[in-house]
Amino acid sequence: MSNKAMLILIATIIFLVLILNISFITMPFMLFIEILLLGIETFFVIKIIKIVNKEKRQKIIESQLIINGYEKVCDNFFINQKEKKVKINNKDYDFSNILSYDVMEGKQYLQTRTYCTELYINITTNDLTEPNIRLDFEKASLQQVNGKNYNKAHKELEEAISTLDIIISSDEEKINIIKSYKTV
């Protein structure tokens, strides 16, 4: 939950508590306010639980991958150099399956500021069941370009691009070596 949403919730609760303390308010109206407050509180508690559970699941998955020899490059992108495998969006691919990639960045200009609307890598594979993989950098979405969250996401993007370059170039070198052996 964002700080802004938390402040709005707290301000609403304080306002409603002040209203409840006014003696001329009728009992049905007070009951309505209490039910409304309970609903708002329940809504935010459920939201917080969902966010915490998602983060816990992600950390459990990441720790299992690290135990199995994977290294984290960024969210939803892990490599296992020993087995020459990459895990993108919880799906395994051999290094040789990765053919190319494109970086996609959407921007929106509002007055004097530029905002990133989306940032992702479009990865092309030789897997016919999933020839295209989208690796999202959600932390950058709807962030001001050159802002703290955008810069952090862009740094992760650069790390992922470098890793993909190494994976693709290492496979091209193998292909060139094989070709050279066949021609000799």
Residue 13 resides in a domain = yes
- Written as tens digits, the pLDDT of the chain (184 aa) is 565 666 677 667 666 666 656 555 566 666 776 777 777 777 777 777 776 677 777 787 788 878 888 999 988 899 999 999 999 998 999 999 999 999 998 888 887 888 888 889 999 999 888 899 999 987 766 778 888 888 888 899 999 999 999 999 876 554 454 444 444 4
> Are the beta carbons of 79 and 97 closer than 8 angstroms?
no
> Are the beta carbons of 108 and 114 closer than 8 angstroms?
yes
146 vs 153: CA distance, rounded Å: 10
Residue 72 has a pLDDT of 92
Count of C-beta atoms within a 10 Å radius of residue 119: 23
Residue 29 resides in a domain = yes
Residue 11 resides in a domain = yes
Cα 173 to Cα 50, 96, 122, 150, 170, distances in angstroms: 45, 11, 23, 34, 5
The verdict on 101 and 168 lying in the same domain is yes
The verdict on 17 and 57 lying in the same domain is yes
Task: Examine the fold and report which residue of 44, 63, 82 is the final residue of a domain before the chain moves on.
Answer: 63
137 vs 6: CA distance, rounded Å: 25
Residue 72 resides in a domain = no
Q: What are phi and psi of 122, to 5 degrees?
A: -100, 110
Residue 85 resides in a domain = no
Domain total in the chain: 2
Residue 124 resides in a domain = yes
Q: What are phi and psi of 43, to 5 degrees?
A: -60, -50
The verdict on 113 and 166 lying in the same domain is yes
> Are the beta carbons of 1 and 47 closer than 8 angstroms?
yes
**Which domain covers residue 29, as residue numbers?**
3-63
Residue 87 resides in a domain = no
The verdict on 110 and 168 lying in the same domain is yes
Question: 3-class DSSP state for residue 106?
Answer: strand
The verdict on 22 and 102 lying in the same domain is no
Count of C-beta atoms within a 10 Å radius of residue 133: 22
The verdict on 106 and 46 lying in the same domain is no
The verdict on 57 and 113 lying in the same domain is no
Residue 132 resides in a domain = yes
Cα 182 to Cα 93, 169, 170, 175, distances in angstroms: 27, 20, 19, 11
The verdict on 58 and 99 lying in the same domain is no
The verdict on 104 and 50 lying in the same domain is no
